[in-house]
Amino acid sequence: MGILKLDNIKMQFGGVVALNNLNIDVEKGKIEALIGPNGAGKTTAFNVITGVYTPTSGDVYYNDKKITGLTPDKITKMGIARTFQNIRLFKNLTVLDNILIANHLHVKSNFLSHTLRMPWSRQEEKNMREKSEMLLDRLGLLSLKNEIASSLPYGEQRKLEIARALATDAKLLLLDEPAAGMNPSETMQLSNFIHDIRDEFQLTIFMIEHHMDLVMEISDKIYVLDFGELIAQGTADEVKNDPRVIEAYLGVEEDA
């Protein structure tokens, strides 16, 4: 059974149908990808999953629980975390603060006991810091923990955004174009990185990506979206040879 299920999702903005009859079933523990030409509705699909948009019709299920209509913070609390196409770090805060903020959703004691530094809140804060430093250490960012997020090199910012999503203890990670703006060798590293974290944190990964080499290499299953509709799904080889996919990407061959 899939960890994430989109059931007949339709998303309409005024007269524009951004997504139509979208059915997606992401299997637990797999790396699956959503591809398609610009404007196909990939990020809209992510926004529907994470609660930024409520779909016009259809439902989203996470672990068989209906999550349609929940606010983004509730959905994150249930275990779905995301990254953004244009990096959205807390730019003026430190690397460690970025990770600590993602831990805030687990805080149990209230603001008063945190302000007054009650023993149980101190313990909570201490655990949070230890956990965050451990995560940074495992991802190789620990030496940068006191740097301001916006001062990091681009690749590290992407990595930090993934780290931040992991810090929420999510089990399903949605990556919106993680390799955007990366050169081939950085993309290779990212591919290994995604594989590693999937294994280490027992994640399911669902990503939007334009780098075809990356997608073809690491995805267990690929969904192809065009003008809001799913035109193909399957393994890399299946999708690559699908005439509708070729048409969507390269256009129709006309008779001379």
Partner 1 sequence: MIDQRKKHNFKLYNIIIFIVFVAFITALDLKFLGDDYVRRVLSLAAIYTIVSVSMNLVNGFTGLFSLGQAGFMAVGAYTVAIFTVPLEKRAAIFYVVDQNPVLAQIHLPFVVALILGGLLSALIAILIGIPVLRLRSDYLAIATLGFSEIIRIILTNAKSITNGALGIKGIPEMPTMWVFFGVMILSVTLIVLLINSSYGRAFKAIREDEIAAEAMGINLFKHKVMSFAIGAFFAGIGGGLLASLLGTVDPKQFYFTMTYNFLLIIVLGGMGSISGTVIASFIVTIGLEVLRFFDEPLTLLGFNIPLFRAGFRMVIFSALLMILVLFFRNGLLGQKELSWDMITSWFNKKTLRRKEKGGAL
DSSP per-residue string spanning 153-190: -HHHHHHHHHHHHHHTT-SEEEEESTTTT--HHHHHHH
Number of residues that bind partner 1 (CB under 8 A): 36
Q: Which of 77, 138, 145, 198 binds partner 1 (CB under 8 A)?
A: 77
Least separation, in Å, of the C-beta of 100 and partner 1? Answer: 6
Least separation, in Å, of the C-beta of 37 and partner 1? Answer: 25
Least separation, in Å, of the C-beta of 73 and partner 1? Answer: 5
C-alpha 209/C-alpha 147 separation (Å) is 28
Nearer to partner 1, 146 or 183 (CB): 146
Nearer to partner 1, 144 or 231 (CB): 144
Hey, which residues between 98 and 117 contact partner 1 (CB under 8 A)?
Answer: 100-105, 107, 111, 114-117
Q: Would you say 199 and 218 are in contact if contact means Cβ atoms under 8 Å apart? A: no
Hey, which residues between 162 and 181 contact partner 1 (CB under 8 A)?
Answer: 164-165, 168
Q: Which of 17, 52, 142, 246 binds partner 1 (CB under 8 A)?
A: 52
H or E stretch at 84: none
Q: Would you say 216 and 179 are in contact if contact means Cβ atoms under 8 Å apart? A: no
Short-list 239, 167, 251, CA closest to 209: 239
C-alpha 69/C-alpha 47 separation (Å) is 12
125 binds partner 1 (CB under 8 A): yes
Nearer to partner 1, 165 or 190 (CB): 165
3-state helix, strand, coil in the chain (%, to 5): 45, 25, 30
Where on the chain is the footprint of partner 1 (CB under 8 A)?
A: 50, 52, 71-73, 76-77, 81-82, 84, 88-93, 97, 100-105, 107, 111, 114-117, 121, 124-125, 128, 164-165, 168
